[in-house]
């Protein structure tokens, strides 16, 4: 009998390979296929109730990305990466959006209306009564799940990336006119390929020993 494989070495190797890229090679672009993997992976992210109250804005436009650099504390990754991913959540979202979600379930799974009705009514009411502030806080959390998902997917695809919270969301929203799309920015994720002289690529990955971060009870 073959020895039981306890973990997939490729995944661990890929996660060791990835790092928060500080300098991208601005001459290297992601292929259409690589972008497609990112789009599909984003769409497959798990979300609370499955509502998918989040959007991915993909910015390639160089002029716009240069305008964003000062609003990201001059972090050049925003402009030098192949593409800038902006993880967003909806500004306005209410019971009507929840109803649309259930309509899709009914149409795609052929679930009988009466089966879905109690949960549908509960969730519509829940979203109609929640404050905008609470909804925004909850949606912003969902974008972090998508970020984690994309970081892993990019690592497996040998796409470099840099998760970024270091920016002024209101300014990014303004430059990208996100209000016209009913969106607010939560996170940035420049994606592309590391520059050969990115000093960070050669730095040792620093993590706690497992014995310090894992508690087995």
Ligand X SMILES: Cc1cc2nc3c(=O)[nH]c(=O)nc-3n(C[C@H](O)[C@H](O)[C@H](O)COP(=O)(O)O)c2cc1C
* Residues lying near ligand X in the complex (CB under 6 A): 19-20, 22, 75, 162-166, 205
Q: Which is nearer to ligand X, 205 or 208 (CB)?
A: 205
Q: Quote the CA–CA distance of 96 and 100 in Å, as a whole number.
A: 6
In this structure, what token pair is assigned to residue 162? 């840099």
Residue 167 Cβ, how far from ligand X at the closest point, in Å?
Answer: 7
Q: Quote the CA–CA distance of 140 and 131 in Å, as a whole number.
A: 14
Neighbour-count burial of 187, counting CB atoms closer than 10 A to its CB (0-12 exposed, 13-18 middle, 19+ buried): buried
Q: Quote the CA–CA distance of 212 and 51 in Å, as a whole number.
A: 36
Residue 41 Cβ, how far from ligand X at the closest point, in Å?
Answer: 17
Q: State the chain's maximal CA–CA distance in angstroms.
A: 61
Q: Which is nearer to ligand X, 40 or 165 (CB)?
A: 165
Q: Which is nearer to ligand X, 90 or 163 (CB)?
A: 163
Do the beta carbons of residue 84 and residue 68 sit within 8 Å? yes
Residue 177 Cβ, how far from ligand X at the closest point, in Å?
Answer: 23
Residue 99 Cβ, how far from ligand X at the closest point, in Å?
Answer: 32
In this structure, what token pair is assigned to residue 191? 């994606």
Q: Which is nearer to ligand X, 133 or 205 (CB)?
A: 205
């Amino acid at each position: 009998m073959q020895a039981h494989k306890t973990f997939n070495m490729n995944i661990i190797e890929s996660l060791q390979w990835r790092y928060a890229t500080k300098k991208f090679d601005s001459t290297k672009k992601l292929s259409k296929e690589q972008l497609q993997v990112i789009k599909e992976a984003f769409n497959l992210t798990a979300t609370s109730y499955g509502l998918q109250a989040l959007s991915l804005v993909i910015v390639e436009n160089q002029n716009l990305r240069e305008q964003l650099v000062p609003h990201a504390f001059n972090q050049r990754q925003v402009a030098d990466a192949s593409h800038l991913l902006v993880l967003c959540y909806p500004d306005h979202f209410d019971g009507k959006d929840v109803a649309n979600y259930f309509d899709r379930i009914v149409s795609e799974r052929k679930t009988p209306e009466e089966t879905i009705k109690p949960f549908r009514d509960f969730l519509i009411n829940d979203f109609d009564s929640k404050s905008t502030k609470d909804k925004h806080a909850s949606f912003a959390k969902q974008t972090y799940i998508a970020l984690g998902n994309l970081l892993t997917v990019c690592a497996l695809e040998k796409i470099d990336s840099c998760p970024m919270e270091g920016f002024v969301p209101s300014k990014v929203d303004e430059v990208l006119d996100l209000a016209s799309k009913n969106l607010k920015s939560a996170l940035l994720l420049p994606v592309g390929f590391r520059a050969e002289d990115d000093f960070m690529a050669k730095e040792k990955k620093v993590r706690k020993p497992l014995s310090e971060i894992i508690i087995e009870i």
